[in-house]
Amino acid sequence: MTVSTVYGIFGWPVAHSRSPALHNAAFHAMGIPAVYVAFPVAPQRLADAVLGVRAMGIAGLNVTLPHKTAIMDLLDDIDPAAAAIGAVNTVYRDGDRLIGENTDAAGLARSLNEAGVDLTAKHVTVVGAGGAARAAVVGLGGAGARQIRVAARRMEASRSLAAQLDGVLPNTSVAATAMESLAGVLATTDVLVQATSATLGDTPEARAFAASLPLLDLPAHAVVVDLVYQPRVTSVLRASQNRGLTTIDGTGMLLHQGALAFERWIGKPAPLTVMRSVFEAAS
């Protein structure tokens, strides 16, 4: 197949990214003459790299750490959801203009819908106040959650996130809550989202973090989501499973945010079965 179009991902580092395998498999499955490349872009060279995208006609990008916020000032326009989140993970072309979007929020909502979780009028608690937490709040609010409470180690970070997003999401209230008050909050929580990096790896610190959460206070119908996907069964998910709760790992969000980026670039539904098989093979 002759390659006519180039897509890619900017990150630093970026060699670990699964995006090239996912998207190249999707292009191949659909007979699209395109290639997806991982571009290691040092932070101080980001502006040069974006100029390169414009000059070389690269058709679309994913953006990962540490560039998700910094790239926003280098684009021609930002989608409202990405502006609310304060981060871009997808760039697409509109003629000669580069537009920034964030598919993490919608990817999370789509993954929960696929798992049979109806967020309509639900009460959600998000642990964390960083970029992943912001995307979670926007995605869950957009999917119909009635109330979202945000708890983080630093109360000022929770308050800042809640102040910025409360009133932005139609029919969804967003409020900060102290970690010390989490037991009472979880008692009325339908969906708990763990959106920090604290559960990365099977470490004593990750297990201690899980033990610090009052998971016993969650109602029996609650669903627990961890946005971390390595390991797939994190310390928080394992503790929740031991309680008999429904759990969802972070792979669904990762898969669906990639599929949504593909659909934005190509204008057709992503071959989700193909992408999922590639993802599962790499897990």
| Phi, psi for 214 (deg, rounded to 5) | -80, 65
Task: Copy the structure tokens of residue 203.
Answer: 């470490």
**Is 68 a catalytic site residue?**
yes
Distance in angstroms (rounded) separating the CA atoms of residues 188 and 196: 21
Alpha helices by DSSP H, 57-202: 80-85, 104-114, 131-142, 155-165, 182-186
- How large is the C-alpha radius of gyration of the chain? 19
What's the order of all strands across the beta sheet hosting 90-94? Answer: 34-40, 5-11, 60-63, 90-94, 97-101, 77-78
Question: Helices 272-282 and 19-30, interaxial angle, to 10°?
Answer: 140
Distance in angstroms (rounded) separating the CA atoms of residues 123 and 219: 12
Which is nearest to 265 in space by CA: 114, 56, 101? Answer: 101
DSSP 3-state of 98: strand
The catalytic residue among 68, 122, 134, 149 is: 68
Yes or no: say if 134 and 165 are a contact pair by the CB < 8 Å rule: yes
Yes or no: say if 256 and 263 are a contact pair by the CB < 8 Å rule: no
Distance in angstroms (rounded) separating the CA atoms of residues 163 and 25: 41
Give the active site residues: 68
